[in-house]
Structure 1
Amino acid sequence: MWEIGTVTPIDRDTDELVGEWLTLREAATALNVSPNRVRQMIRDHKLLGALREGELSIPAAFIVDGHTPKGLQGALTLLADSGFTPEQALRWMFTPDDSLPGTPIEAIRANRGTEVRRRAQALLL
């Protein structure tokens, strides 16, 4: 499992794969919480954050209508338990999977989190 609260710089490919990002303050505003609460959510595997150009950022897809989508935390926890680094977890969440179809984050946002967790859990085997 990655160290609690780990936030690391990401490479350009991962940055482009994720697409739209929110700064720490933008994410806090979108969730109607303090920036410190967003940091706690990262530590609790409810969100993933990354350093982009020296600033903590969160994928915009991880916030829907002021909340994190149901199933996101379970998937992130399973990925951490599988030994994925935060960057590897981001890449996995945003890489298309023909068996879903689409990306795992798209499936989670479409309330198909169980399918995503099954695939993440298979990574533990």
Structure 2
Amino acid sequence: MSAIPYSDDVLDSSVSLFQLADVSKNLGLPLAKVHQLLRDRKIIAVKRRGVLGVPELFFDADGSIVKWLPGLLAVLGDGGYTDVETLRWLFRADESLPGRPVDALHGDLAREIIRRAQAMAF
């Protein structure tokens, strides 16, 4: 089994993270399945102060992965974006949006975020 992939922590310290054990609990999956989600790039983890964590904004209020996130990560990854570049884009304020792309994934603008990612990636 390969190592658990993670990105450098390029996020603002105010971005809350779930530790992998919390992700496992919230999703109702064994920790090994969470590791597989990371290897499959369905979610991205960062290492903060020696501990792996996944941004809380990658999850809905019910604890499930935001519906649009895995597809968005696939589009950006296929377009050559690294995890660091993806995280920076997702968490950077965008004046043309009400907030950041990661915030828009939770609302009516999710399809617009996917469209923008497709345009950026190719």
Q: TM-score, normalised by structure 1?
A: 0.84
Which residue is 2:51 aligned to?
Answer: 55
Aligned pair in 2 of structure 1 residues 68, 18: CA closer, same or farther (>3 Å)?
farther
Q: Which runs of 4+ in 1 moved over 3 A?
A: none
Which residue is 1:9 aligned to?
Answer: 8
Give the CA deviation at 1:112. Answer: 2.7
Specify the SS of the correspondent of 2:11. Answer: helix
Which residue is 1:102 aligned to?
Answer: 99
Taking the aligned partners of 2:93 and 2:40, their CA distance within structure 1 comes to 26
Q: TM-score, normalised by structure 2?
A: 0.86
Larger helix fraction of residues: 1
Does residue 121 (structure 1) correspond to residue 118 (structure 2)? The answer is yes
| Contact 1:18 1:90 (C-alpha < 8 Å) held by counterparts | no
Give the CA deviation at 1:111. Answer: 4.3
Please give the per-residue CA displacement for 1:49-84, whole angstroms capped at 9, x wherever unaligned: 111122211001111112111111111111111222
Which residue is 2:89 aligned to?
Answer: 92
Specify the SS of the correspondent of 1:25. Answer: helix
State the one-letter code of the partner of 2:27: L
Give the CA deviation at 1:124. Answer: 2.1
Which residue is 2:65 aligned to?
Answer: 68
Taking the aligned partners of 2:28 and 2:14, their CA distance within structure 1 comes to 23
Residue from 22, 36, 39 that aligns with 2:35: 39
The aligned length equals 118
| Contact 1:75 1:117 (C-alpha < 8 Å) held by counterparts | yes
Does residue 25 (structure 1) correspond to residue 25 (structure 2)? The answer is no
Return 5+ residue gaps in structure 1 as ranges: none
Give the CA deviation at 1:30. Answer: 1.6
